[in-house]
């Protein structure tokens, strides 16, 4: 694999773990602000980001590349509110999608087709992640009341 592609891949691994850290920050905030269901949901979300990072790590190891992990930036301590938590998450996921599309394009251009396939899996995964968040935001906007928020928190707490 070209050095440049490997560096981009390692950078994305870091970003997946950073995403995990961001969702854990959101989980901590939710717990602290009386939204235990959301805290649980965000924790699951954080776990999913770890599996993403590991999936990328394992791919690189399978093609005999060396994985180097770098420091992760701390997540925010405070968030502006309940619905904003999901709006920020959606913004974040859109950023992730744009990054992965770029990685896919770079891998394809370099004829690294197995790597491109890996990123293609992530592009599909991003469709699901964005759509879940859009759904939550849409529902919250329909019933923008404390009861709507509490119902959503309960619902999010049921995530398997
Ligand atoms: Fe991810
Ligand atoms: Fe994600």
**Could you read off the pLDDT of 62-88 as tens digits, one per residue?**
999 999 999 999 889 999 999 999 999
Which domains, ranges and CATH numbers included, belong to the chain? 3-153 (1.20.1260.10)
Q: Which DSSP state fits 110? A: T
Q: How far is the CA of 92 from the centre of ligand 2 (A)?
A: 8
Going from the C-alpha of 53 to that of each of 67, 105, 134, the distances in angstroms are: 11, 19, 23
Backbone φ and ψ for 159, nearest 5 degrees, come out as -60, 130
Question: pTM above the 0.85 mark?
Answer: yes
Please tell me the number of the ligand nearest to residue 51's CA. Answer: 1
The pLDDT of residue 75 is 87
**47: its two tokens:** 């776990």
Helix residue spans in the chain (DSSP H) = 3-32, 36-62, 82-109, 113-142, 146-157
Q: What percent of the chain has pLDDT over 70?
A: 100
Q: Return the ligand number nearest the Cα of 45.
A: 2
């Amino acid at each position: 694999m070209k050095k440049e592609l490997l560096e981009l891949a390692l950078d994305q691994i870091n970003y997946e773990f950073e995403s995990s850290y961001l969702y854990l920050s959101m989980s901590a905030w939710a717990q602290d602000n009386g939204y235990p269901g959301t805290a649980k949901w965000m924790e699951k979300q954080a776990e999913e980001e770890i599996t993403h990072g590991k999936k990328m790590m394992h791919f690189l190891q399978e093609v005999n590349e060396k994985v180097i992990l770098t420091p992760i930036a701390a997540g925010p301590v405070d968030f502006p509110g309940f619905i904003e938590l999901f709006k920020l998450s959606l913004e974040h996921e859109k950023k992730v999608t744009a990054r992965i599309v770029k990685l896919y394009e770079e891998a394809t251009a370099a004829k690294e087709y197995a790597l491109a396939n890996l990123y293609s899996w992530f592009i599909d995964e991003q469709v699901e992640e964005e759509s879940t968040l859009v759904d939550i935001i849409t529902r919250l906007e329909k019933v923008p009341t404390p009861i709507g928020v509490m119902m959503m928190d309960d619902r999010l707490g049921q995530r398997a």
